[in-house]
Amino acid sequence: MVSTVYIFSICLKQTTNSTKNTKFLEIQVIDQPCHASGIEQWEIPYVHFPKPKTFSREECVCNPVWNFAILSMQRSGSGWFETLLNSHINISSNGEIFSVKERRSNVSVMQSTMDKVYNLDWFTSASKNECSGAVGLKWMLNQGLMEQHKDIVDYFKTRGVSAIFLLRRNLLRRMISVLANSYDKDAKLLNGTHVSHVHSSHEAQILARYKPRVNVTLLIPNPKEAEETTSKALEYFKSTRHIVLYCEDILRNGPFSNLSLLYNFLRKLVEVQEFLRLPYRDLRSRQVKIHSGPLSKHIKNWDDVQKAVKGTSYESFLHADY
């Protein structure tokens, strides 16, 4: 980029009649490109110095930015995880952008939407703007990601986007969460308002009062379909720079039952911050888990569910808690 600077030189000459002679000196100043120090050769494609069209990064113009995308499925802890990330002073994760159908109508629209995000021109309450060190979004697998995976993988590679897979081990708990959330869209249990996440134990208790009746004929096909979808996604994006996390490792309310769980939780928080090449911070979420405790508390036809999964690979889901 070339800038033109005009320097005014004024000479005053003492004569009978004062005379001003003004000269214009035109000097070209060429902006020096930014260089990130202390990075390895393989990291270069992932280090960016965005130049937003909507604002100036000012003193942070040469602060490197890492691009990322959280790839997940509904009711798998992505909202909780995103609030954890956004509690970091240098991370801007801009939410479930492609939940709006128009933004995923075709590949071109998807790419232009991502361009705005990674150029720091997408504004949400999570935007850190000038001094963001990592910028990204949340993307559900059923929001055009799987259908257009080839083009999206190419985009990720070209733009240096790192993928963070957030999966859920206990797919039976996910199924209960999906059913309860779907019910609340109509019932609006919290003061006539539908919410997918809560920030107090009181709100969580109100939503947890509803116990869905599970269609036992779907107890095996539903988790199996979810497993197949995530397996395909991991295969599609295996050539990208990525990390795989599980919500059971990072969604925690209250004290840990043992030191091993605490250590694993802290290790995962360190791991994701190292993945984004950011200084470690104590990450916190204000969200509160809705369906805590044993699953038997949250399913209306618990006995039927037990019988349906007994002897299958999903039987362990009945008793696993986190």
pLDDT in tens, 56-68: 998 999 999 999 9
Q: Which amino acid is at 155?
A: Y
Give one word for 140, left, alpha or beta, with left for phi > 0 and alpha for psi -120 to 50: beta
Q: Does the structure show a pLDDT above 70 at 268?
A: yes
Q: How does pLDDT run across 149-208, given as a tens digit for each residue?
A: 999 999 999 999 999 999 999 999 999 999 999 999 999 999 999 999 999 999 999 999
Q: What is the CATH number of domain 45-318?
A: 3.40.50
Least confident of 25-29, 73-77, 306-310: 25-29
Q: Does the structure show a pLDDT above 60 at 3?
A: no
In the chain, the percentage of residues whose pLDDT exceeds 70 is 89
Confidence of residue 110 (pLDDT cuts 50, 70, 90): very high
Q: Do 47 and 114 meet the contact criterion of CB atoms below 8 Å apart?
A: no
Q: Do 204 and 288 meet the contact criterion of CB atoms below 8 Å apart?
A: yes
Mean pLDDT over the full length of the chain: 89
Confidence of residue 8 (pLDDT cuts 50, 70, 90): very low
Q: Which amino acid is at 93?
A: S
- The torsion angle over the Cα atoms of residues 243, 248, 250 and 254, rounded to 10 degrees, is 180
Q: Does the structure show a pLDDT above 90 at 96?
A: yes
Q: Does the structure show a pLDDT above 60 at 10?
A: no
Distance CA 13, CA 108 (A): 64
What stretch of H or E contains 20? strand 19-30
| Per-residue model confidence (pLDDT) at position 322 | 63
Confidence of residue 257 (pLDDT cuts 50, 70, 90): confident
Query: Residue 236's CB: how many other CB atoms inside 10 A?
Result: 17
Q: What is residue 169's three-state secondary structure?
A: coil
Q: Does the structure show a pLDDT above 60 at 16?
A: no
| Per-residue model confidence (pLDDT) at position 31 | 59
Handedness of CA 307, 308, 314, 318 (dihedral sign): negative
Distance CA 135, CA 124 (A): 12
- Residues 6+ away with beta carbon under 8 Å from 278: 66, 88, 90, 91, 133, 134
Domain residue spans of the chain: 45-318
